[in-house]
Amino acid sequence: MRQPVRVLLVEDDENLRAAVRAELGAAGFDVVVAADLAGADAELRADGFACVVLDRMLPDGDALDYVRRRRLEGWDARVLFMTARDRASDRIDGFTHGGDDYVVKPFSVAELTARVRSLARPGGSRPPVLRFADLEIDCARRETRRAGALLTLSGREFAVLEYLAVHHEQAVSRSDLIDHCWDESADPMSNVVDAVVKRLRRKLREPSLIHTVRGRGYRFGFADPAS
């Protein structure tokens, strides 16, 4: 019999913790809860969590710093931050310091469950350093190297590159990139994504790693989808 997928939920608000736990449990997950980082640390001494859902601001600290430190130690569990902090810089920090997804309060518990299901798919753990041939993306240190040379990327450029790389060989829409790498004030009809991708292509140099998928957005990988 298949064992249920284990999820660690770290949230200090008792009512929200109960609501999310109930929804995840109804979706078939084995949910373990903690109210602070110390509790999370104690639970994580046992392996087997496919996904960790973390409120950012907890009584004993910012979960962002905790995840960043764990990533440097080689921790590779998938992490979803849930937080009321919704500035563009907060979202970018969430991704570039070790998060795999980021939802802003108030949110739909059903949507959060869908995001956890996506992150917790078998084989979905992400290493702290992403490597693609001669390209190295260090998600914890927010550093990118190609052929050993350190590239100078802005926070936004790094966030877009990391998101594309995590979803490599998949078509990622411009609206997905705006949702995950910009705040709500970004205009999805503007060319802000195209401008960042253009700069990334120039900085990453040849052979190109970011390809345009007509009518769908962009795909990160080595083979041009048109070929």
- The amino acid that residue 29 corresponds to is F
Closest to 99 (Cα-Cα) out of 123, 77, 79, 124: 79
How much is the pLDDT for 3?
66
Helices (H) and strands (E) in the chain, counts: 8, 14
What's the rounded Cα separation, in Å, for the pair 55 and 64?
A: 9
Report the mean per-residue pLDDT for the chain: 84
Q: How many residues does the chain have?
A: 227
What does the pLDDT profile of the chain (227 residues) look like in tens digits? 456 789 999 999 999 999 999 999 998 899 999 999 999 999 998 777 889 999 999 999 999 999 988 877 778 788 999 988 777 677 777 777 788 888 888 888 888 888 888 888 765 445 567 888 788 888 767 889 998 899 999 888 988 998 898 888 788 888 888 877 876 555 555 688 999 999 999 999 988 889 999 888 999 987 655 54
pLDDT digits (tens, 9 = 90+) for 159-188: 899 889 888 878 888 888 887 787 655 555
Sequential DSSP letters for 37-88? HHHHHHHTTS--EEEEEEESEETTEEHHHHHHHHHHTT---EEEEEES--SH
What's the rounded Cα separation, in Å, for the pair 165 and 181?
A: 13
Q: In 3-state terms, what secondary structure has residue 115?
A: helix
pTM of the model: 0.58
Name beta bridge partners: 150: 145
Which domains are seen in the chain, by residue range?
Answer: 6-119 (3.40.50.2300), 129-220 (1.10.10.10)
